[in-house]
């Protein structure tokens, strides 16, 4: 056991977060996200029993967001014509504001298929049990 480390962060995930360098990206995918196919060239970490907000909050306690890009946090845009509501995005913005002075300004959106292309370039992908739709997040690591 370690002091000060959120219990939700497994040794495997801690190792990945420590290995990542400036500008590396990690995806936190919802339960519908194709983690295994998007993560063919990445490290895939299974966290099926957990939701994205609790994982996001735990990661951001240790993980600096990139200060050199406008949006170090990116969400998957809702497809045109899709009537899905995304209240979880507000939860994300509240969590981000706790850990980064830019708050909601650090958050951008990426069109769905462009999001998939960016996800394929990620260092790691976390597969969660999150049931909210459009709950996928890409985080870009900064420096301390």
Domains with residue ranges and CATH for the chain: 22-140 (3.40.1650.10)
Q: Active-site residue 30, yes or no? A: no
Percent of the chain having pLDDT more than 70? Answer: 100
pLDDT of 1 reads 75
Q: Calculate the dihedral angle through the C-alpha atoms of 58, 137, 74, 32, rounding to the nearest 10 degrees.
A: -170
Mean pLDDT of 119-129: 98
- The answer to whether the beta carbons of residues 107 and 77 sit under 8 Å apart is no
User: In the prediction, which pLDDT does 2 show?
Assistant: 84
CB 29 within 8 A of CB 118: no
Predicted confidence (pLDDT) per residue in 49-67, tens digit: 999 999 999 999 999 999 9
Active site residue 66: yes
- Cross-strand partners of 139: 26, 73
> Mean pLDDT over residues 24-50, rounded?
97
Q: Which of 30, 57, 66, 100 is catalytic?
A: 66
Largest interatomic CA distance in the chain: 48
For the beta carbon of residue 14, count every other beta carbon within 10 angstroms: 15
Dihedral sign from CA coordinates of 129, 8, 120, 143: positive
Q: What are phi and psi of 63, to 5 degrees?
A: -105, 115
pLDDT tens by residue, 95-110: 999 999 999 999 999 9
Write down the catalytic residue from 24, 50, 105, 116: 116
Determine contact, residues 134/86, Cβ cutoff 8 Å.
yes
SS3 at position 108: strand
């Amino acid at each position: 056991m370690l002091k000060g480390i959120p219990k939700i962060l497994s040794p495997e995930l801690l190792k990945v977060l420590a290995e990542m360098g400036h500008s590396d990206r990690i995806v936190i995918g919802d339960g519908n996200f194709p983690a295994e196919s998007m993560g063919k060239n990445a490290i895939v970490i299974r966290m099926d029993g957990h939701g994205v907000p609790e994982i996001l909050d735990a990661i951001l306690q240790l993980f600096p967001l990139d200060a050199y890009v406008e949006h170090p946090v990116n969400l998957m845009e809702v497809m045109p014509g899709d009537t899905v509501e995304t209240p979880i995005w507000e939860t994300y913005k509240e969590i981000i504001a706790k850990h980064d002075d830019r708050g909601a300004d650090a958050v951008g959106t990426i069109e769905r298929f462009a999001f998939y292309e960016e996800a394929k370039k990620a260092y790691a992908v976390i597969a969660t049990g999150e049931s909210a739709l459009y709950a996928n997040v890409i985080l870009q690591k900064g420096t301390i």
